[in-house]
Structure 1
Amino acid sequence: MNPEHSGLDISLSRFDRIYHPGESVSGVLSITAKDGWSHTGVKITVIGTVTLKMPNGNQEVKPRRLLEEEFMLVESGKMDMGTTKVPFSFVVKGLNKKALLETYHGAYISVNYFITAKVERGVMKRGLEKGLEFIVEVPIRRESLATPVEKEFEITEKTLDNVRSSKVGKIPEFTIKGKLHRTNCLINMPLTGEVTIVKSANKISSIDVQLVRIESISSALSSSGDLSKGDMVKEATEIEKLQIAVGDVVRNMVIPIYMVLPRVYTCPTLSTATFAVGFEVNLQVVFEDGYMVSETFQVGLHRVQ
């Protein structure tokens, strides 16, 4: 049967497309040929890159290659009419034996791994190309992460930062207690904790938990566009926000925190000489009059074997 269009399609053996360094990625390239055609070869390219974008938006940084592999899947010849399925495989390994970083889609820092299939069909027909992203996760062995590091907190009108002492007496009284069950978070587990409004002179409108990423990039750029050591430019952006209570909550009632960490939009806490990715959790309590109390907690994200 002659198909309506020519095209390429990539499918991998794993539905979630998640792989670890050293593992083999196997899949199938489906080549659909309308009327059949000649070609100069079917090529597979696998590339992993770190892409950095300066927060001010005025400087472009040359992407850093983490993984690079290219091979001819089908030698030049003629593709028969219909669909031809060709298996392929490759090993996930760093370029020049360097360590791989985990897939991450940030606002200013991104780590991506792509498989691209390409076939050139001569002068009279346009080439065909298909890309597919696969996800790399990099677990580590660290015994210290087996023990949760809990963080208890108590917030009152007297513990607020950036409030002049002369103004403290004008802030309505409140006491908010709670805990994060662990600040050394496992990335494949939800972030959990609890909040209790012990007392509040003003009515409460809502309570939110906000997950924020802190991306840092070296401010120094060489003439070639590569990063060199320099001061870090930091930018904080929201990943997700979870409303855990609405309205004037009952006093002394324990309100649970349960936040699932989104895949690829978070990654294990990362720090290199030229860029870094960190994370914070903000607890935000909004009062009925619009006044908001916010407390920030530093958290480390980790992926263990």
Structure 2
Amino acid sequence: MIIFCITQDTQRHPLLPELKSGGFQVMGKISSQCSLSGHISGELAVETSAVPIHSIDIQLFCVDCILPGEKIATETSLIQTTQIADGDVCRKLTIPIYVILPRLLTCPTTFAGPFSIEFKVAIVISFQSELSKLQNCIRRLTPEL
């Protein structure tokens, strides 16, 4: 199991000002190894969040790497997204993680000379904000074909 802590300080991408000033903290643990017939398991808890949460998703990625000469070519593909929470969750409530692997899209992690196939898991937390509410209003006002 891998123990993780997600805060506004651990993020490498830009955050909205309301997230930077208010802060959030999500803690948990997730399995780092599983069999193809098994599942990814773990748990997480939203310790604090100044902004209401919209959803929490677990994303499974396939990372293909090849070493042609002295360069490394890497391609990352999204395999599956599983939503584990919808709406603003209760603080400090343990949310179970249980993701079944798609059998046709996964294989064992492989390292064969200059070629490798690995799988990575990402935890995606979407927050409700005034900006997202504004975008939803704009989408509703835009006529659909």
Does residue 160 (structure 1) correspond to residue 50 (structure 2)? The answer is no
Does residue 238 (structure 1) correspond to residue 78 (structure 2)? The answer is yes
CA RMSD of aligned residues (A): 2.4
**Corresponding residue of 1:203:** 52
The secondary structure found in structure 2 opposite 1:216 is: strand
**Corresponding residue of 2:139:** none
Cα distance change on mapping 1:170 and 1:241 into 2, 3 Å: closer
Q: Report the residue type matching 2:75 in the other structure.
A: E
**Corresponding residue of 1:287:** 127
Output the CA distance in 1 between the equivalents of 2:112 and 2:70: 12
Structure with higher helix content: 2
Output the CA distance in 2 between the equivalents of 1:285 and 1:162: 13
Tell me the CA shift for residue 157 of structure 1.
1.6
Q: Report the residue type matching 2:98 in the other structure.
A: Y
Give runs of aligned pairs for residues 3-14 of structure 1, distance below 5 A.
none
Tell me the CA shift for residue 207 of structure 1.
0.3
Unaligned runs of 5+ in 2: 132-145
Give runs of aligned pairs for residues 250-261 of structure 1, distance below 5 A.
250-261=90-101
Does residue 173 (structure 1) correspond to residue 23 (structure 2)? The answer is yes
Q: Which of 23, 39, 42 is matched with 1:193 structurally?
A: 42
Structure 1 length-normalised TM:
0.39
Output the CA distance in 2 between the equivalents of 1:260 and 1:170: 34
Cα distance change on mapping 1:185 and 1:171 into 2, 3 Å: farther
Does the CA contact (< 8 Å) of 1:217 and 1:232 recur in 2?
yes
Does the CA contact (< 8 Å) of 1:209 and 1:243 recur in 2?
yes
**Runs of 4+ more than 4 Å apart:** none
The secondary structure found in structure 1 opposite 2:60 is: strand
Answer with 1 or 2: which has the greater Rg: 1
Give runs of aligned pairs for residues 93-132 of structure 1, distance below 5 A.
none
Does the CA contact (< 8 Å) of 1:215 and 1:236 recur in 2?
yes
Q: 1:88-127: per-residue Cα shift (whole Å, max 9, x none)?
A: xxxxxxxxxxxxxxxxxxxxxxxxxxxxxxxxxxxxxxxx
Output the CA distance in 2 between the equivalents of 1:289 and 1:262: 33
Does residue 272 (structure 1) correspond to residue 112 (structure 2)? The answer is yes
Does the CA contact (< 8 Å) of 1:218 and 1:231 recur in 2?
yes
The secondary structure found in structure 2 opposite 1:179 is: strand
Tell me the CA shift for residue 231 of structure 1.
2.5
Output the CA distance in 2 between the equivalents of 1:230 and 1:248: 47
Does the CA contact (< 8 Å) of 1:157 and 1:168 recur in 2?
no
Structure 2 length-normalised TM:
0.79
**Corresponding residue of 2:66:** 217
Q: Which of 225, 245, 248 is matched with 2:88 structurally?
A: 248
Tell me the CA shift for residue 156 of structure 1.
1.5
